[in-house]
């Protein structure tokens, strides 16, 4: 058992299941996670499902490595790494569908990296993939801008503070006015200064875990930004990327993408809402991590499997239907949206994807069936399919099912193992 005031020179690795209580795991080891409690709350936001992935976190016990494993198999390092590589492969294959699947930017950054995932044999190496992807995206952003000069704007004062504009000063009847040209930092120079500060912080907190190649890429990018945008003495800090006063810097699609990649270097992209410019936690420098929701990956995997049996045009992703709600006097009060994961047009079948193990036909399964039945009715089809990563054989062998009461909808059960 660790004592609260102990510091350990060797890294401690903790394996946590997707369904475990993260805080209880740390508390049982007497590890203080106060500085990262908000991050951990987000990772474990759902009652029975943590996000899955990997984290290095600074604690009173030194650097602790946290592995959160999918619930569908017992933890095995090689198997989990293979699972992550398969996630990246499938998501990279269908990254043009990211808007439909609502995948988070952090995993998309991983998937966009054009490297061989098979060469990566550790969680730190997988984490480094994320950092390399972010560095490449940041470099691409700044390559699109030509070398910029500082803009000058008119400025009047009684004392000399900037470059004097002699002509305007001479013709001004008020001789106490000294016309000057004030140098203003351009929008892009401010972004460059923040990026340079973020990269410096990134290197400071991760250099012991990074390969020489990645360190060289990061330092090279720093030097390029400094030369191109003359950020010497600019005075930016890494937390400028999340400050409300800088919200205006990240309004366009390209600058929001830049912001997310800067946050990725700080392992803060999971804990920052770039849509509204609000940070959910200021202690992001205590961690380096990548996490994602396995159910979203599973949707991608199922889509990949469906394409082996159906034409792409036959598969509708997230089809939407509506059910109206009326009062007793037949006045429409509301309208509810019904969106299964897929609609297979050729066979008239709605498909729901469930990231859970179906071992019995209990209350959870009943809820899944009733929801799917409504989906089928509103989409006007006679077939409905539930797909799980694992289904008990006695359930799988007796499918399809029908609900009692003369219901004509066929409930198909399918198993799609992720590996």
CA distance 53 to 107: 10
- How many residues in total does the chain contain? 419
In the chain, the N- to C-terminal Cα span, in Å, equals 36
Supply the pLDDT for residue 149.
44
The reported pTM is: 0.79
Backbone angles phi, psi at 247, to 5 degrees: -60, -35
Long-range pairs for 182-186: beta carbons < 8 A, 24 or more residues apart: 182/152, 182/153, 182/154, 182/155, 183/150, 183/151, 183/152, 184/150, 184/151, 184/152, 184/153, 185/150, 185/234, 186/148, 186/149, 186/150, 186/151
State pLDDT tens for residues 347-359: 999 999 999 999 9
Contact 383, 409 (CB under 8 A): yes
Q: For every residue of 297-312, which 3-state class applies, written as one string?
A: HHHHHHHHHHCCCCCH
What is the residue whose two structure tokens read 């900037």? 162
Supply the pLDDT for residue 5.
32
> Residue 88, SS3?
helix
Strands (E), 195-320: 272-273, 278-279, 287-292, 315-317
Q: 381 CB contacts (<8 Å, ≥6 apart)?
A: 343, 348, 349, 350
CA distance 311 to 45: 37
Mean pLDDT by 10 residues, the chain (419 residues): 34 89 88 81 79 87 90 91 88 87 76 62 86 92 65 63 66 72 63 90 89 95 87 72 75 85 85 58 66 90 95 94 81 82 95 92 87 90 94 87 76 90
Supply the pLDDT for residue 345.
95
CB neighbour class for 153 (10 Å; exposed up to 12, middle 13-18, buried from 19) = exposed
Q: Domains (ranges, CATH) in the chain?
A: 1-74 (no CATH), 105-150+185-292 (no CATH), 151-184 (no CATH), 296-415 (3.40.1350)
- What mean pLDDT is reported for the chain? 81
Q: How many CB atoms lie within 10 A of CB 79?
A: 14
Q: Would the CA dihedral through 273, 277, 282, 287 be positive or negative? A: positive
Supply the pLDDT for residue 44.
84
Query: Which tokens sit at 48?
Result: 């029975």
Supply the pLDDT for residue 42.
83
Supply the pLDDT for residue 337.
84
State pLDDT tens for residues 224-274: 988 888 776 666 777 778 776 677 788 888 888 888 899 889 888 777 665
């Amino acid at each position: 058992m660790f004592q609260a005031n102990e510091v350990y020179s060797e890294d401690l690795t903790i394996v946590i299941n997707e369904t475990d209580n993260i805080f209880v795991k740390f508390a049982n080891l007497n590890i203080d996670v106060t500085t990262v409690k908000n991050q951990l709350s987000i990772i474990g936001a759902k009652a029975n499902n943590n996000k899955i992935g990997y984290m290095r976190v600074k604690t009173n016990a030194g650097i602790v490595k946290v592995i959160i494993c999918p619930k569908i198999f017992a933890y095995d390092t090689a198997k989990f790494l293979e699972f992550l590589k398969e996630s990246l492969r499938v998501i990279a294959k269908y990254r043009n569908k990211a808007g439909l699947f609502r995948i988070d930017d952090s995993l998309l950054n991983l998937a966009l990296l054009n490297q061989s995932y098979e060469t990566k044999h550790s969680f730190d190496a997988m984490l480094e993939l994320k950092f390399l992807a972010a560095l490449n995206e940041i470099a691409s952003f700044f390559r699109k801008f030509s070398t910029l000069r500082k803009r000058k704007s008119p400025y009047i004062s009684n004392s000399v503070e900037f470059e004097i504009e002699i002509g305007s000063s001479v013709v001004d009847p008020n001789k106490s006015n000294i016309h000057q040209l004030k140098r203003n930092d351009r929008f892009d120079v401010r972004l460059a200064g923040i990026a340079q500060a973020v990269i410096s912080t990134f290197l400071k907190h991760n250099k012991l875990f990074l390969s020489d190649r990645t360190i060289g890429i990061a330092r090279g990018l720093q030097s390029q930004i400094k030369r191109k945008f003359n950020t010497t003495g600019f005075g930016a800090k890494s937390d400028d990327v999340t400050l409300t006063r800088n919200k205006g810097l990240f309004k366009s699609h390209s600058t929001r993408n830049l912001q997310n990649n800067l946050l990725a270097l700080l392992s803060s992209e999971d804990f920052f809402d770039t849509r509204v410019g609000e940070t959910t936690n200021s202690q992001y420098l205590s961690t380096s991590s990548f996490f994602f929701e396995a159910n979203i990956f599973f949707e991608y995997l199922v889509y990949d499997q469906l394409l082996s049996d159906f034409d792409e045009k036959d598969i509708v992703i997230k089809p939407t239907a509506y059910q109206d709600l009326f009062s007793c006097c037949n006045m429409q009060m509301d309208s509810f949206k019904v969106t299964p994961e897929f609609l297979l047009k050729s066979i008239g079948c709605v498909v729901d994807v469930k990231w859970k193990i179906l071992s019995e036909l209990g209350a959870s399964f009943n809820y899944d069936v009733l929801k799917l039945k409504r989906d089928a009715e509103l989409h006007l089809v006679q077939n409905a399919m539930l797909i799980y990563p694992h289904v008990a054989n006695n359930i799988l062998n007796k499918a399809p099912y029908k609900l009692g009461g003369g219901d004509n909808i066929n409930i198909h059960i399918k198993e799609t193992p992720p590996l």
